[in-house]
Each structure stands twice: as C-alpha cells, then as structure tokens.
Amino acid sequence: MQLRQHHTIRRRHLLVAGLMAALLAACSGVEVHNINVQTAAKGTEIEARQVVALIYAQAPDSEIDTLLYSGGDLSRAVKRLRDRHPRLKPWLDRGAVGNTASGFVARREPGEDGKLNELIREENRDRAFLYNQASAAVGHGGDNLNAWLPYASYTFGQEWIGQGAAGWWAADPDLVWRQR
C-alpha cells in the first residue's frame, strides 16, 4: 500500500512540475510592460527639471512633446516660454532681472522701462499658467489647485534658479537677492 501511495504522490509531483514548465514556457512569449508610477510631488519635480532644461536649451518642439505631462495647454505654455527666453536672457545676463524662489521673474531694481515691464508680465503670466497646468497634470487641479500651487511654483522656482547661468541673480523666499 505504501508503495502505491508513493507512486501516486510521485505522479502528482511530476504532473505539477510538468504544468509549471508548461506555464513558464507560455510566459516566455508574453510581453512585459513596465509602468512608472509617480507621486504628485515627484511628478512635479521631474516636470520642473525637464521643462526648465528644455527652455534654457531652446529645445525643439519634438523634445517638448516628450515631457512627462506633455500635451495641450501645458506644451503650448512651455513653447511660449521657450520662444520668449532669447528676449529675456540678455536681461538676466545683465542682472536687471532675476528668478525668484516662488518661480517668477522680477526686476532687481525698480524701473520705468515699459518694454522690460511688459516682457516680465508676459513671462510671469505664462509661468503662472504653466504651474496651473502642471498641477492639474499631477492630479491637483480643481478644488486642490490652490493648495498645490505654492508647491508647484516653488519647485519650478528652484529649477529656474538652479539651472540658471553663473552670474544670474536669484531672490530667496524673503526676496533677498543673491548672485549665482
């Protein structure tokens, strides 16, 4: 009787082993898809780093379209910022304007230059729009937008400053200006 049970158990083991081998063989033809899940905070950090790098580098549209949250209004805002950067850069180079920790451009000293003031208004309008779109893209639009915007603008602000050229000026959260 024991020998019979032993053979039955052995057949079951062989059957299970055969089924496992068949399953493994079937799996070898299955495509594996990696899914990259980001938290809203990490997504905002990645987007800020990529967006600022593309704007400063004057990247072509094809690179902008590969952003983590590209598309629609967000891509259009990035393209406007990129296209305006060559007009803003000489002012940054001279130190007449600088980036702020809150993610915007500001004059370092008061002035009446209407063209510069208009350039700053246009830039800040598009940066504010970018922060709105980036916040919505990571799931913090609608009712959550006002709570998330300070984080988004500060995160972008750190990138505008950190990736800026040596010699550019930056204002910390207390609006104290420092040269990079």
- Model confidence pLDDT, tens digit, residues 95-154: 999 999 999 999 998 877 889 999 999 999 999 999 999 898 888 888 888 999 999 999
Would you say the C-alpha torsion 84, 73, 165, 169 has a positive or negative sign? positive
Domain membership flag for residue 20: no
The whole-number pLDDT of residue 159 equals 98
Domain membership flag for residue 74: yes
Task: Kindly report the length of the chain.
Answer: 180
Average pLDDT over residues 50-58: 96
Tell me the residue type at 61. D
Partner residues linked to 105 by β-bridges:
99
Domain membership flag for residue 9: no
d(CA 77, CA 128): 10
The whole-number pLDDT of residue 70 equals 74
> Among the listed ranges 10-14, 22-26, 147-151, which one has the minimum average pLDDT value?
22-26
* Ranges assigned E (strand) in 41-172: 97-100, 105-107, 169-171
Domain membership flag for residue 159: yes
The whole-number pLDDT of residue 14 equals 59
The whole-number pLDDT of residue 143 equals 87
d(CA 94, CA 167): 9
The whole-number pLDDT of residue 157 equals 98
The whole-number pLDDT of residue 32 equals 56
* Structural domain count, the chain: 1
Of 132, 157, 155, 154, nearest to 145 by C-alpha is 132
Domain membership flag for residue 18: no
Domain membership flag for residue 134: yes
The whole-number pLDDT of residue 26 equals 59
**Is the pLDDT score of 155 beyond 90?**
yes
d(CA 117, CA 105): 10
Structural domain harbouring 158: 40-179
**Is the pLDDT score of 41 beyond 90?**
no
Cα angle: 75, vertex 57, 59; to 5 degrees: 45
Domain membership flag for residue 24: no
The whole-number pLDDT of residue 36 equals 47
Domain membership flag for residue 118: yes
**Is the pLDDT score of 66 beyond 80?**
yes
129 token code pair = 């729009």
Of 117, 126, 48, nearest to 81 by C-alpha is 126
Query: Average pLDDT, whole number, for the chain?
Result: 85
